[in-house]
A = this chain, B = another copy of it.
Amino acid sequence: MTSKEIFAEIKKKRSFLCVGLDPVLEKLPRHLQKEKDPVYVFNKIIIDQTIDQAVAYKPNLAFYEAMGPKGLDILQKTLEYLPADVFTIADAKRGDIGNTSSLYARAFFEKMNFDAITVAPYMGEDSVTPFLKFDGKWVILLALTSNQGSQDFQMITDEKQKPLFVTVLEKSKVWGNSENMMYVVGATRVSHIQTVRQLVPDHFLLVPGVGAQGGSLEEVARAGMNAQCGLLVNSSRGIIYASSGEDFGLAAKKEAQSLQVAMEELLNTYC
């Protein structure tokens, strides 16, 4: 998928919403538990109800690996259920020595046909570049994450007061380009999104940690949007667990619609 195609989808849906498909069996609505394959049924309903608002879907691999081998079957079926024009992200945070990263790349890009995979930068260039050798596929590199632990190493400054996440951006942006790399940038500090946008003006950013609060979404858009939108904002639990009852699908839709309305306004203003 090209950035043009992603932007076309954003313009069509007037939204830059990414839905995190992170199901936990015990948390699914009780009426689904009697289904033969409750997680897959849940995913299908979430997709059906959010497909008009979501331009991307991001299953986190941990949720499927925790179910054992059948979890990967559910993931594969879920991917096949998604229409080809949405962007699919394997949130896997992989990264290993070169030949091993190549195997992960084949697993996610060829076997499972994901469009993108999240990758951790700690092991450096030769752990990332094997993922960049697949036409139309994307690496989404962790730059600044939204958890508390992001302070431990990502914010460490070097002799020139430059935080590690900035060095990660500066070094990695020449490994690929804005057609095969994106960055994960947490929404916890807007000034950081500004810093990132200056360093990589054309790259898409995947932003977790935004609630349904119009406020922070507005700040993220103001700091991070570029002429092709350049943002995918993720919501997982806020959408998929909007209700725990039989109406979970409609509740998810309502949540996605409310985000879409806010996003449309931001696209009109900043893009």
Contacts and interface: CB of A to CB of B under 8 A. Distances in A.
A151 interface: yes
A65 B100 CA distance: 11
Interface stretch (A9-17, A164-172, A218-226, A242-250): A164-172
A142 to B, nearest CB: 6
A230 interface: no
Q: How big is chain A's contact interface, by range?
A: 35 or more
A164 B146 CA distance: 20
A95 to B, nearest CB: 6
A153 interface: yes
A49 to B, nearest CB: 24
A126 B154 contact: no
Contacts of A93: 94-96, 120, 123
A125 interface: yes
A122 interface: yes
Given A124-B151, A149-B123, A156-B167, A106 B142 contact: no
Interface string A118-131: 00111111111000
B126 A66 contact: no
Given A107-B65, A159-B157, A152 B171 contact: yes
Interface stretch (A69-77, A132-140, A261-269): A69-77
User: Which 5 pairs across A and B sit closest by C-beta, in order of nearness?
Assistant: A124-B149, A124-B152, A62-B103, A69-B72, A126-B149
